[in-house]
Amino acid sequence: MNLELTFSLKKGRFQLNANTQIHWQQPSTHVIFGKSGIGKSHLLRCICGLENPTGVISWHEDHNHVHWLDSERRMNMACHLRPVTMVFQDNQLFSHLNVEENLRFAFDRATANEHDWQHCIDALKLRDLLSHQVQQLSGGQAQRVALARAILSKPKLLILDEPLASLDWQSKQDVMDYIKRLNHEWQLPVLYVTHDIHEVLTLADQVIMLHDKNAMTQVQTPRPLIDILQDENHPFYGLGKSSILIAHNTQHQQDGLLHCQVGEQLMRLPIAQISDKGASLSSKEHTHPTNLKTVAEENKLRLCIAANDVSLALSEAKDSSIVNTLQGKVSRIEQTTSGQYLIQLKVDDQYLLSEISAYSFKRLNIEMWQPLFAQIKGVALQRCR
Amino acid sequence: MDALLLTLKLAFFSTVILIIIATPLAWFLAHNTFKGKFLLEAIIALPLVLPPTVLGFYLLIALGPNGPGGFIAQLWGDRTLAFSFSGLLIGSVIYSLPFVVQPLQNGFSLIGKKPLEVAYTLNASFKDAWRTIIFPLAKPAYISAATLGFAHTLGEFGVVLMIGGNIPGETQVISIKIFEQVEALQYQDAHVLSAILLGLSFLMLTAIYATRKSANKTGML
């Protein structure tokens, strides 16, 4: 699947330029990232057909090539004909319809069948809410209904416009769990817009940055998240102060631990620990054992590790409570604005970030390419394809 | 009874025409900002403050043989649109326009553009979205607008006096008839008609406020 965006939108003094291809190898999540007010929503509205830019927007899928917009040929497909559905920040459920009627609104205008309906209601745990008025729903519930409504309209591309922005922390985790499953469970390619770095780290497969210069916003080419985090020229470098490791050979062990490998090195992830610690980035996976199982069955895991959860040692500690130690070499040293040091370790062919105090930095006398042991306190577990 | 029937007919047709004209106008005003918007809004609101006789006077000239109304009337061989039911209808529509536009504009502002856009993204066409989303959401606003438009036309006096004259069955509406009866000291008849008008007006306003209250309760307005 491929979305070609070659257009510009002018609104007063604001201008948005896009000249890029967004490609989905398989259903995956591309995150559009940019600060508030940069024009992220305008970009989405252009894709949906709610704005009228000049240029070309086209969608390729299985040798089918459909132009949604082609200004030269004076062609602009109406929004309701484009196979895109958007979930908005503030759920935007129809207030004169109850939950079921809201869902039926989408269902009746799409090719979804009864099986899709039942599956969607069950997967998003909406059965008990069907007869509720939308005003009775909590923020998280409403966003779940909005998500279900979007799924039931059977789009070829699902766009989520900061769907978590107006939710409290607990609802955020809850809704995030469902968003993570969109690619896999509904085979939906997703464009996800956010200005929250944690959401990027949790969800993104590819990242599309928006940059502005003199009120002109430029849409940049998508790049894999893992690349970006390791690119010191990229603004994300060290920004989330988290690193992402891809672990493979995942196995559930008899002792209840999850074993996996980073390069040649073994990691043991006590599931309870993962979940507790992972709460800040991942979610309460332990309440969704099925979710975890799917992840494990794919045999690859994305480990999201906060830099301040990684401490460094000159030798491997045998008498520590910390289970996971990875050996690597210092590949970059950087002093952060807060006076801490951010050390990048090269672990096989992957990178791990550690944040340590200036005092520790001096005491360990860290130099480039020095071998070190990274002790990892907490790991957040993500799905990975 | 002629006057009462004529008044109801006038109010009914005025309201229908007004709703049709005011819907796009109110939507446009609610969701667009443009240079000179205030000017358009002021023009629409003019009948609120203008003495009906002034409005009636200009209408009389516009509808008369030398105005655009006369030109239109010539199309079917008449000399003037004044002193006819169609002239009265045109006058009522202009006179009651703000009473219909404003509640609709407020309603549309409250609803916003979002529900329509969401409906589009869920594969609903323009017609479909208006029928299933905007009209139901704006129902309280439409009830207010229609009732106000109807009631206001019902009570019209000055404009009708200026452009309608007093032709029984053609332009003699109930308010004019009451005036005539009082002039002729037929208080008994004036009492009956006044009571009817009072009752009707009160009923309609009660209906507005009742729907407003229930609309608030369900959070629709």
How far apart (Å, rounded) are the C-alpha atoms in residues A357 and A342? 9
Q: How confident is the model at residue A276 (pLDDT cuts 50, 70, 90)?
A: very low
C-alpha dihedral, A48 to A49 to A50 to A51, nearest 10°: 120
Among A49, A50, A153, select the one facing B122 at the smallest CB separation: A153
Is-contact B88 B10, C-beta < 8 A? yes
Residue A235 lies in a domain: no
* Among chain B residues, CA nearest to A98: B218
Asked if pLDDT for residue A342 goes beyond 50, the answer is: yes
How much is the pLDDT for B94?
93
Give A79's contacts in chain B (Cβ within 8 Å): 117, 120-121
Cα distances (angstroms) measured from residue A134 to each of A35, A139, A140, B120, B215 = 31, 10, 12, 20, 15
Write the burial class of residue A323 (CB in 10 Å: 0-12 exposed, 13-18 middle, 19+ buried).
middle
Range in A9-18, A291-300, B160-169, B182-191 with the lowest mean pLDDT: A291-300
Residues A225 and A248 in one domain: no
What is the rounded CA–CA span in Å between residue B152 and residue B197? Answer: 11
Residue of higher predicted confidence among B220 and A13: A13
Q: What b/e string do you get for B52-62 counting C-beta neighbours within 10 Å, with b at 16 or more? A: beebbeebbeb
The average pLDDT across A242-260 equals 77
Which of these three, A204, A230, A256, is where a domain ends? Answer: A230
Each domain of chain B, given as residue ranges in start order, spans 2-217
CA distances from residue A339 to A178, A243, B2, B70, B189 in whole angstroms, order as listed: 38, 20, 91, 86, 94
Alpha helices in B32-84 (DSSP H): 37-49, 52-63, 68-74
Once rounded to an integer, what is the mean pLDDT over residues A40-64?
Answer: 90
CA atoms of A275 and A215, how far apart (whole Å): 42
Distances from the Cα of A30 to the Cα of A9, A22, A35, A189, A384, angstroms: 22, 8, 16, 8, 14
Q: Which two tokens stand for residue A310?
A: 């990684």
Dist. CA A140–CA B14, nearest whole Å:
47
The SS3 of residue B146 is helix
Average pLDDT over residues A289-318: 68
Report the residue of A79, A81, A88 to disrupt the B interface, i.e. the one with the largest count of B CBs within 10 Å: A79
pLDDT at B190: 92
What is the percent of chain A where pLDDT is above 90? Answer: 27
Pairing of strands A29-33, A206-213: parallel
* pLDDT tens digits for range A77-107: 999 999 999 999 888 999 999 999 999 999 9
What local confidence, expressed as pLDDT, does residue A214 receive? 67
Q: Which of A230, A250, A265 is the C-terminal boundary of a domain?
A: A230
Asked if A86 is an interface residue toward chain B (Cβ–Cβ < 8 A), one would say yes
- Report the CATH number that the domain containing residue A32 is assigned in CATH: 3.40.50.300
Residues 57-116 of B with CB under 8 A from A: 114-115
Radius of gyration of chain A, Cα coordinates, nearest whole angstrom: 22
Determine the average pLDDT of the residues in A168-190.
86
Contact between A110 and B125 using a beta-carbon 8 Å cutoff = no
Nearest to B80 by CA among B61, B52, B53: B61
pLDDT at residue A283, as a whole number: 35
CB contact, 8 Å: B121 with chain A?
Answer: yes
Phi, psi for A298 (deg, rounded to 5): -75, -10
User: For residue A292, is pLDDT > 50?
Assistant: no
Tens-digit pLDDT string for chain B (221 aa) = 688 889 999 999 999 999 999 999 999 999 998 888 999 999 999 998 999 889 999 988 988 888 888 888 888 877 778 888 888 999 999 999 999 999 999 999 999 999 999 999 999 999 999 999 999 999 989 998 999 999 899 888 888 888 887 788 888 888 888 998 999 999 999 999 999 989 988 988 888 788 776 555 444 43
Which whole number is the average pLDDT over A253-281?
64
Do A113 and A91 have their domain in common?
yes
> Can you read off the two tokens belonging to residue A76?
């602009």
Distance CA A98, CA B113 (A): 20
What radius of gyration, in Å, describes the C-alpha atoms of chain B? 20
Is the ipTM higher than 0.95? The answer is no
Q: How far is the alpha carbon of B18 from chain A, nearest alpha carbon, in Å?
A: 25
A111-157 residue pLDDT tens = 888 898 999 999 899 999 999 999 999 989 999 999 999 999 999 99
**Average per-residue pLDDT for chain A:** 82
| Same domain assignment for residues A175 and A298 | no
- Partners of B121 on chain A (C-beta within 8 Å) are 48, 50, 79-80, 84-86, 153
Q: Is the pLDDT of residue A298 over 70?
A: no
- Contact A139/B at CB under 8 A: no
Residue A236 placed within a domain: no
Range of the domain at A264: 242-382
pLDDT in tens, A222-240: 877 777 766 767 777 655 6
- Say if the Cβ atoms of A109 and B137 lie within 8 Å: no
Residue A271 is predicted with a pLDDT of 63
Dist. CA B80–CA B144, nearest whole Å? 34
Higher pLDDT, A284 or A240: A240
Q: Report residue B163 as tokens.
A: 């452009």
> Do A38 and A176 share a domain, yes or no?
yes
Q: What is residue A134's predicted lDDT score, i.e. its pLDDT?
A: 93
Whether residue A68 is found in the same domain as residue A135: yes
pLDDT at position A295 is: 47
Per the domain annotation, does A216 fall within a domain?
Answer: yes
How sure is the predictor about A322, in pLDDT bands with cuts at 50, 70 and 90? confident
Residue A92 to residue B219, Cβ atoms within 8 A: no
Domain count of the fold of chain A: 2
Last residue of a domain, one of A206, A230, A254: A230
Shared-domain flag, residues A208 and A258: no
Identify the band that residue A381 occupies on the pLDDT scale cut at 50, 70 and 90: low
What's the angle, vertex CA A351, arms to CA A350 and CA A354, rounded to 5? 150
Q: Which option is the CATH number for B2-217: 2.102.10.10, 3.40.50.300, 1.10.3720.10, 1.10.260.30?
A: 1.10.3720.10
Reported confidence tier of residue A282, pLDDT bands at 50, 70, 90: very low
Mutate to test the interface with A, among B35, B121, B132 (most CBs of A within 10 A): B121
